Each structure stands twice: as C-alpha cells, then as structure tokens.
Amino acid sequence: MGDRGAKDALFDGLAEVAKALASGRRAEIIDLLAQGDRSVEEVAAEIDQSVANTSHHLRALARAGLLTTRREGTRIYYALASDRVGALWAAMRKVAETHVAGIERLADAYLGDRDAIEVVGRKELAARLKRGDVVVLDVRPAAEYGAGHIAGSRSVPITELRRQLSALSPEAEVVAYCRGPYCVYADEAVRELRKRGFAASRLEDGFPEWKRAGLPVAAGS
C-alpha cells in the first residue's frame, strides 16, 4: 500500500495547476494567451492591471508549468505551454457554465442581450467557407490575426469595422468571430453589421476552439 504522505504530496502537486488558476485575472490571461504570445506590457494593458501586478500573475502561471517565456531585447514574452492549457481553460468554462450558479447572469451583465444574435457552428461555417458563400471577419486585434486565424477570413479589427464596411458587398452574408464565447468583439460587430443592413451572425465560440477542432487555420497578415 502506498505511503499516505507521498500520496498527499502527489495530489498537492497536481492541485498546483488549480491553485495557479484560482484568480479571475489569471483565467483572463490564459484566455488572452490562447490567441498568441504577448509581452508583459501587452498583457497588462489588456487586463487593465499594473505591469508589476501582471508580472506577479504571469510568474505564478509559469511556475505551475502553464506558461513558457522568451526574451526579445528588454521585453519578456509569455505563451501557453501547450494546446492542453487552452483545452483546460475551455473545460473549466464548460464546468462553470453547467454547475456554477449565477454564471449566466454574470455573462449577460457583461455581454448584453444576445437573443437577437444568430450563432453559427464551427462545422457549418467550415462548410460555408468551402462553398465560398460567406464572408468571415476576424474582429480581433491585427496582431492576433497575424499569430493565427481561420483560413479564408479577413482581418477587420472591431476598431476599424465602420471604416471598412464599404469594402463589403451589401448582399454578403457575414460571420464574425473573435477570441471565444465570452469575447464581446464579435457581438459588437454583428450588432453594427445588422444595423447597417447586412445579414450577419457570429461563430459559436472563437479561434482557439476552431484550431483545437482541427479546422483549417493560417498565420500571417
């Protein structure tokens, strides 16, 4: 029979991953880095925290083995240690959605009313892209599009959407996507497009989920 102390140490070690993620800001960092690597300063700007506080969160995630680092000049860049980290975050979201009371209410408070926003599944969008009967807009920041995007999609950051509307055919059927199911960019894009008369919907989740499903991706601008 195994030693009790050794078993305790093993399970405590396994729990280090959960301990590292026991913060909303760290979960947000994982969600962000699922789009591609970022410098400390870029992460801090995205999560609206000081560089010092962000560095603390990043180091805790790295100590737990969830992130890797590289240095470019004076800047340190962080990335997910593997695709399994992104899959872990997606699984955590699903568990919370199913079993944690109040998550739906919190999501509604952040994302707004989604009843009028049509959602398209990944398989359906892949088929429509193959047929060429849909325009797919990646409304994340351009750097995230460059790091990886749905093959055949166009980079139209949400901040540039209105300026680029003239490039879209009024008859085009448009699907927008962004970082994941709790990213507001795609919702904002769909609302704006529909207000302008376009037939628009959003992908059911985002680029990381599309990539993990083994669907066609590309990188670069």
Quick check: 188 and 179 in contact, CB under 8 A?
Answer: no
Instruction: Determine whether 183 is an active site residue.
Output: no
CA pair distance 1, 164, nearest whole angstrom: 67
Q: Which of 178, 186, 190, 200 is catalytic?
A: 178
Bridge partner list, 206: 178
For the chain, list the strands marked E by DSSP: 38-39, 67-72, 75-80, 119-120, 135-138, 149-150, 154-155, 173-178, 199-206, 217-218
Amino acid residing at 103: I
Quick check: 101 and 107 in contact, CB under 8 A?
Answer: no
- Residue numbers annotated as active site: 178
